[in-house]
Amino acid sequence: MAKAAITVKKLHYTYPNSTNEALHNVSLTIKEQEFVAIIGQTGSGKSTLVSLIDGLIKPSSGELNVAGLEINATTKTEYLSKIHHQVGFVFQFPEQQLFAETVAEDIAFGPHNLGWPAKKIEKAVDEALKMVDLPLELKSHSPFALSGGQMRRVAIAGVLAMDPQILILDEPTAGLDTQATNDLLKLIKDLNEKGTTIIMVTHQMEQVAYYANHVIAMSNGQVVADTTPQQLFRDAQRLKKLSLTLPVSVEVAQFLSKDGITLKNTEPLTLDVLADEIAEAMRRKRK
């Protein structure tokens, strides 16, 4: 069993000036090197949960342990900032947070805040640029002169340069075309395979099916499912109630099973698996 990267116990959170709880009694465990997908409607508490994990807000009650750091309602703000040595957070449309005069400066911002020595920062910047597949020549360019897709990659590089053990991404592929989406997901998958724990907030069930091995569904500030993608997609009724869709491969399998054609694997997570199942069913039928 892998070690727990994050444990959350009976977490409650209410925003200042609000009377409704944004998070209600949330408990969960995320293990090291897991690829976790967090799903749910806008306002379901997803963003609040990941903000708490990154120490950007303090719990109203309950506690969490993030990469060995204990956090509860009384934790001091200085202590919270320690989290950023371990956890990286790529916000939605991260290119909207670029600010520096050059690409290199912008990427160096995070490592600089962590107090790294200049040599180490420089190396981290180069490595991060390589990871997001941007040429080193861009270092001296203004980030605002780049294309939208390149700006997104610079912003992500700025987080990767901090070398996080745990990486949170809030809809990292929103607004990207298919090619750029696939490139980015591949990068995230690679990081995961090299040991980074990934927590990805997403609306795309295809991404959940293809990449995640642990899925947390939220609704009205509560965790309503904490399971594997396979298990989650088995319960089409519940998904519908949560206004979530099925990935195409599962949708086709469930469409067929409604008409009495049951495949061996009723929740094929990829089209490849689905195609295998269909081929198998055809063979059986011919016999």
Partner 1 sequence: MNSKIVFGSYVPVKSILHRLDPRIKLIMCIIYVILIFFVNNFLAAIWLLLALLAAIKLSNVGLRQYWQGIKPLFLIILITVAFQILFSSGGKAYWHWGIMAITRDGLINSLIIFYRFIVIITASTVLTATTQTFQIADALAWLMKPLQVIKVPVNQITLMLSIALRFVPTIMDETNKIMKAQRARGINFNAGNLLTRIKHLVPILIPLFVNSFKRAEELATAMEARGYDPNAPRTHYRQLVWHKNDAWAGLALLIVTVGLVCIRIFF
Partner 2 sequence: MTGIKIRKLVFTYPDSKYPVLKNINLDFEPVSWTAIIGHNGSGKSTLARLIDGLLSPTAGSIEVDEIQVNESSLGKIHQHIGFVFQNPENQFVGATVADDVAFGLENRQVDRNKMEEKIDKALKMVGMSDYKNTAPINLSGGQKQRVALAGILALMPKIIILDEATSMLDPLARQEILALLQKLKKEYNLSIISITHDLKEIELADKIVVLNDSQVVKQGAPSEILKDKELLLEIGVGIPASQQLQKLLVERGINVPNRYLNLEELKNWLKQQLQ
Query: Which residues are at the interface with partner 2 (CB under 8 A)?
Result: 41-42, 147-149, 174-175, 177-182, 203-205, 243-245, 248-249, 252, 255-256, 259-261, 271-272, 274-276, 278-279, 281-282, 285
DSSP state of 143: G
Q: Is 128 exposed, middle or buried (0-12, 13-18, 19+ CB in 10 A)?
A: buried
Instruction: Give me the least distance between CB of 225 and partner 1, in Å please.
Output: 25
Contact characters 79-108, partner 1, x per CB under 8 A: --x--xx--xx-x--x-xxxxx--------
Residue type, position 172, single letter:
P
**Binders of partner 1 in range 20-49 (CB under 8 A):** 22
The residue within the footprint of partner 1, chosen from 1, 16, 19, 135 (CB under 8 A), is 16
Q: Residue 96: name its binding partner from partner 2, partner 1, none (Cβ under 5 to 8 Å by kind).
A: partner 1
Q: Is 3 exposed, middle or buried (0-12, 13-18, 19+ CB in 10 A)?
A: exposed
CB 106 within 8 A of CB 98: yes
Q: Is 118 in the site for partner 1 (CB under 8 A)?
A: no
Q: What angle do CA 190, 35, 42 make, to 5 degrees?
A: 120
Number of residues that make up the chain: 287
Cα→Cα distances 104→7, 115, 121, 154, Å: 35, 16, 10, 9
Q: What b/e readout covers 12-36, taking b as 16+ CB neighbours within 10 angstroms?
A: bbbeeeeeebbbbebebebbbbbbb
For residue 233, what is the enclosing H or E element?
Answer: helix 229-234
Instruction: Give me the least distance between CB of 148 and partner 1, in Å please.
Output: 11
Q: Residue 114: name its binding partner from partner 1, partner 2, none (Cβ under 5 to 8 Å by kind).
A: partner 1
The residue within the footprint of partner 1, chosen from 4, 69, 114, 248 (CB under 8 A), is 114
Instruction: Give me the least distance between CB of 144 and partner 1, in Å please.
Output: 7
Q: Which is nearer to partner 1, 116 or 233 (CB)?
A: 116
Helix axes 118-131, 103-113, angle to 10 degrees: 120
The residue within the footprint of partner 1, chosen from 128, 146, 159, 217 (CB under 8 A), is 159
What residues make contact with partner 1 under the rule CB under 8 A? 15-18, 22, 51, 54, 56, 77-78, 81, 84-85, 88-89, 91, 94, 96-100, 109-110, 113-114, 144, 158-159, 162
